[in-house]
Amino acid sequence: MIKFIRWFLSPSSKEIVCETDVYSKLAELEDRIAKLEVENIETTNLLYELGNCIDAVDVRIDILTAEKWVNKNV
């Protein structure tokens, strides 16, 4: 445990504070978030469209199957 404490409190060769512009990074992240939100909306809309298409095909298959059984019984 003492070795860990000495290692933890020993001086580091890395700089403690590096010069970065926090505001520019924040603005960059806000832009990325805005783009991701737009992509999320587009993806959600496409998923709804695909679901509707699948439902329409499923209904059409049911109709064709019902017609086949009706014609077969006649």
* Any domain includes 56: yes
* Any domain includes 2: no
* Any domain includes 1: no
* Any domain includes 8: no
* Any domain includes 3: no
pLDDT digits (tens, 9 = 90+) for 41-71: 999 999 999 999 998 888 888 777 766 676 6
In Å, how far from its chain's centre is CA 58? 28
* Any domain includes 63: yes
Domain count for the chain, please give it. 1
pTM: 0.53
How distant, in Å, are the alpha carbons of 8, 28, 42, 55 from that of 32?
A: 36, 6, 15, 34
Q: Which pLDDT band, with edges at 50, 70 and 90, does 9 fall under?
A: confident
- The domain in which residue 40 lies consists of 20-73
* Any domain includes 41: yes
Which residue type, as a one-letter code, is found at position 68? K
How distant, in Å, are the alpha carbons of 7, 17, 31, 40, 48 from that of 36?
A: 42, 30, 9, 6, 18
